[in-house]
C-alpha cells in the first residue's frame, strides 16, 4: 500500500522532543526522514533518562521511529558539503536549534534558496519575533509563556504545568501541519518557503478558550461555569478553574470506590443539559428534574458544588468502570481517570495501533505510542528508531560518495 507522503525526503535536523515529534509524524505518513546527528554525540536524548546502561533511552526511541540516522559534523567544511548535497536532494529541512544556530552554521535561508529553491525550511523556536526571540526554550517554559500554566491548577494554589507535552509535541504537530500545507502550496508555486511554529504561539493556540474567557471576564466581571462563581472572587485575569469543564456543560472529577488507596479511582462526570433527567434518576434524585433550583442549566450553575457533591456520593459507591458502564447506558458523558499502567494494557488502544510494541536490537521489546492519526489509504507501520549513524554509509552512497570518500570522512571524524 502506498503512503500519503511517499517520495517526500526530509532532512531532519531536529533534536530533543518538539522537532522529532514532527518528523516522526511525517515518517509515519511515508516520508523518508534522514536524521542528521552530531558525529560522536548524537541527539542528547539518546543518553538522557536511560533505564538500561549504554542503550538508547526510551526518550529517544519513542520520538524517532521510522527514521534513518546519519552522523555528520556540520561545522567541518567536508561535513558542510555533505549537508549541501542533502539540501539539494531533500524537500524539507526541519530544525529546532536554538535561535541563530542554523545561521551560525552557515545554513542561511539565502544559502538554502541558492541550492534548492523548492526546499521548505521548517523551524520550531521558543518564541516568535519580538523581545524573547533569542531565548532558548523547553516544554515548561512554553506552557508558562503560552498561558497554559496560569490557567491550570486550583484557585488557591500556584500555576501548574500539564503532563501533556503541549509545548513540545503540541508544537511539533503544528509544524507538521505547516509542512504539509507548504508542500501542497509548492505544487502550484514550485517554490519552497519558511515555516515557523513558535512554542509560545502553539501553546496559546491550544489555550484559545482561555483568551476567550479573558474577554468575557473583562466584559462581565464573572463567568458562571467557573468554580469562583457564585461564592468566590474573580480578579482581572482568567483564574485557574481546577477540574471544571471549560465549556457550557459543567463537569468535575469525582471520587469512585477505592479512592482512599488508588490515586486514580476517579471519574470525569459531565452534567450535560440534554441528559439532566437521566442523571437525576441514576443518582436517586428524581425530584431534581422538576425542582426550580435544579431544573434549568442556569439555575444549576448556582448550585454546582452541592450537585457534584451529591453525584459523588453515587460515584463513590462504584468503581470507575462500573460507574462508566451505567452512565453510558444513559448517554451521560463521562470518562474514567486512566493511569499509564491502565493505558499500557488497554486492548482497544493496542488494536488500533495507538499503543504499539516495538523490538529494538539493543533494548529488546518496548511499548510506544503509535500514530494517533488514522488514515484509510495510508496505514502506519511503526518501526524502531535508528542506532546512531546506522544509515550514514547508505545515505552517503545514495548521494554519490564512494567507499574511499566515506573512509576518508570517517578517518577525519566528519561522520
| Helix (H), strand (E) counts: the chain | 17, 11
Q: Count the site residues for ligand CAO by CB under 6 A.
A: 24
Question: Considering beta carbons, is residue 334 or 395 the nearer one to ligand CAO?
Answer: 395
Q: Which residues have CB under 8 Å from 334's CB, separation 6+?
A: 267, 268, 269, 270, 323, 324, 327, 328
**Nearest approach, Cβ of residue 138 and ligand CAO (Å):** 4
Cell of 196: 515557523
Instruction: Answer for the pair 77, 169: CB distance below 8 angstroms, yes or no.
Output: no
Phi, psi of 105 (to 5 degrees): -75, -10
- Range in contact with ligand CAO (rule: CB under 6 A) among 133-141, 222-230, 309-317, 339-347: 133-141
Q: Which of residues 24-43 bind ligand CAO (CB under 6 A)?
A: 36, 38
**Nearest approach, Cβ of residue 344 and ligand CAO (Å):** 23
**Nearest approach, Cβ of residue 35 and ligand CAO (Å):** 10
- The HSE-up count of residue 298 (CA atoms within 13 Å, CB side) is 1
In whole angstroms, what is the distance from residue 147 CA to residue 204 CA? Answer: 6
Of 18, 64, 66, 69, the one binding ligand CAO by CB under 6 A: 18
At which residue does the C-alpha cell 490515586 appear?
Answer: 263
Three-state SS for 334-388 is EEECCCHHHHHCCHHHHHCCCEEEEEECCCEEEEEECCCCCCCCCCCCCCCCCCC
**Nearest approach, Cβ of residue 335 and ligand CAO (Å):** 28
Binding mask 297-336 for ligand CAO (x = CB under 6 A): ----------------------------------------
Question: Considering beta carbons, is residue 9 or 38 the nearer one to ligand CAO?
Answer: 38
Question: Considering beta carbons, is residue 73 or 201 the nearer one to ligand CAO?
Answer: 73
Question: Considering beta carbons, is residue 173 or 217 the nearer one to ligand CAO?
Answer: 173
Cell of 299: 439555575
C-alpha radius of gyration, the chain, whole number: 26
DSSP 3-state assignment of 400?
Answer: coil
In whole angstroms, what is the distance from residue 178 CA to residue 318 CA? Answer: 46
Binding mask 166-205 for ligand CAO (x = CB under 6 A): --x-------------------------------------
Is position 254 an interface residue for ligand CAO (rule: CB under 6 A)? Answer: no
Question: Considering beta carbons, is residue 323 or 414 the nearer one to ligand CAO?
Answer: 414
**Nearest approach, Cβ of residue 30 and ligand CAO (Å):** 24
In whole angstroms, what is the distance from residue 232 CA to residue 228 CA? Answer: 4
Residues tagged active-site: 168
Q: Which residues have CB under 8 Å from 391's CB, separation 6+?
A: 34, 68, 69, 70
Edge-first strand order for the sheet with 251-255 is 251-255, 266-270, 334-336
Is position 134 an interface residue for ligand CAO (rule: CB under 6 A)? Answer: no
**Nearest approach, Cβ of residue 120 and ligand CAO (Å):** 18
Question: Considering beta carbons, is residue 85 or 337 the nearer one to ligand CAO?
Answer: 85
- Range in contact with ligand CAO (rule: CB under 6 A) among 86-94, 120-128, 295-303, 304-312: 120-128
In whole angstroms, what is the distance from residue 46 CA to residue 35 CA? Answer: 13
Instruction: Answer for the pair 385, 356: CB distance below 8 angstroms, yes or no.
Output: no
Is position 112 an interface residue for ligand CAO (rule: CB under 6 A)? Answer: no
Is position 164 an interface residue for ligand CAO (rule: CB under 6 A)? Answer: no
Is position 293 an interface residue for ligand CAO (rule: CB under 6 A)? Answer: no
**Nearest approach, Cβ of residue 175 and ligand CAO (Å):** 10
**Nearest approach, Cβ of residue 355 and ligand CAO (Å):** 23
Q: Which of residues 68-107 bind ligand CAO (CB under 6 A)?
A: 72-75, 96-98, 101, 104-105
Question: Considering beta carbons, is residue 334 or 414 the nearer one to ligand CAO?
Answer: 414
Q: Which residues have CB under 8 Å from 89's CB, separation 6+?
A: 9, 399
DSSP strand pairing (364-369 vs 32-37): unpaired
Cell of 38: 552530531
Of 32, 139, 201, 213, the one binding ligand CAO by CB under 6 A: 139
Cell of 329: 447506558
Question: Considering beta carbons, is residue 136 or 290 the nearer one to ligand CAO?
Answer: 136
Query: Which residues in this chain contact ligand CAO in the complex, by CB under 6 A?
Result: 16-19, 36, 38, 72-75, 96-98, 101, 104-105, 124-126, 136-139, 168
Amino acid at each position: 500500500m502506498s503512503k500519503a507522503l511517499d517520495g517526500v525526503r526530509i532532512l531532519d535536523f531536529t533534536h530533543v522532543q518538539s522537532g522529532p515529534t514532527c518528523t516522526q509524524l511525517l515518517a509515519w505518513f511515508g516520508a523518508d526522514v534522514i536524521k542528521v546527528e552530531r558525529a560522536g554525540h548524537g541527539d542528547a536524548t539518546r543518553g538522557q533518562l536511560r533505564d538500561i546502561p549504554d542503550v538508547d533511552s526510551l526518550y529517544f526511541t519513542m520520538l524517532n521511529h521510522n527514521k534513518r540516522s546519519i552522523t555528520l559534523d556540520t561545522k567541518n567544511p567536508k561535513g558542510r558539503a555533505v549537508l549541501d548535497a542533502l539540501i539539494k536532494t531533500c524537500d524539507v529541512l526541519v530544525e529546532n536549534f536554538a535561535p541563530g544556530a542554523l545561521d551560525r552554521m552557515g545554513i542561511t535561508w539565502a544559502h538554502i534558496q541558492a541550492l534548492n529553491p523548492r526546499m521548505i525550511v521548517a523551524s520550531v523556536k521558543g518564541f516568535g519575533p519580538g523581545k524573547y526571540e533569542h531565548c532558548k526554550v523547553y516544554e515548561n517554559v512554553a506552557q508558562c509563556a503560552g498561558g497554559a500554566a496560569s490557567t491550570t491548577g486550583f484557585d488557591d494554589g500556584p500555576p501548574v504545568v500539564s503532563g501533556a507535552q503541549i509545548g513540545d509535541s503540541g508544537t511539533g504537530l503544528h509544524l507538521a501541519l505547516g509542512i504539509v500545507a507548504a508542500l501542497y502550496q509548492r505544487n502550484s508555486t514550485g517554490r519552497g518557503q519558511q515555516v515557523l511554529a513558535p512554542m509560545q504561539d502553539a501553546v496559546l493556540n491550544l489555550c484559545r478558550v482561555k483568551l476567550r474567557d479573558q474577554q468575557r471576564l473583562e466584559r462581565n466581571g464573572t463567568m458562571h461555569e467557573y468554580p469562583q462563581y457564585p461564592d468566590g472572587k474573580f480578579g482581572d485575569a482568567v483564574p485557574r478553574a481546577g477540574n471544571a469543564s471549560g465549556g457550557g456543560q459543567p463537569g468535575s472529577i469525582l471520587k469512585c470506590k477505592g479512592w482512599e488507596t488508588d490515586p486514580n479511582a476517579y471519574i470525569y462526570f459531565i452534567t450535560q443539559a440534554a441528559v439532566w433527567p437521566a442523571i437525576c434518576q441514576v443518582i436517586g434524585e428524581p425530584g431534581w428534574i422538576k425542582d426550580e433550583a435544579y431544573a434549568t442549566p442556569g439555575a444549576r450553575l448556582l448550585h454546582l458544588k452541592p450537585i457534584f457533591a451529591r453525584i459523588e456520593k453515587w460515584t463513590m459507591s462504584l468503581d470507575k468502570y462500573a460507574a462508566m458502564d451505567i452512565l453510558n447506558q444513559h448517554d451521560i458523558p463521562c470518562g474514567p481517570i486512566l493511569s499509564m499502567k491502565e493505558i499500557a494494557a488497554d486492548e482497544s488502544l493496542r488494536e488500533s495501533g495507538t499503543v504499539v510494541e516495538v523490538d529494538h536490537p539493543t533494548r529488546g521489546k518496548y511499548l510506544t505510542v503509535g500514530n494517533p492519526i488514522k488514515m484509510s489509504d495510508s496505514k502506519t507501520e511503526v518501526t524502531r528508531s535508528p542506532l546512531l549513524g546506522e544509515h550514514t554509509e547508505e545515505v552517503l552512497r545514495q548521494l554519490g560518495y564512494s567507499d574511499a570518500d566515506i573512509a576518508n570522512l570517517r578517518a577525519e571524524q566528519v561522520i
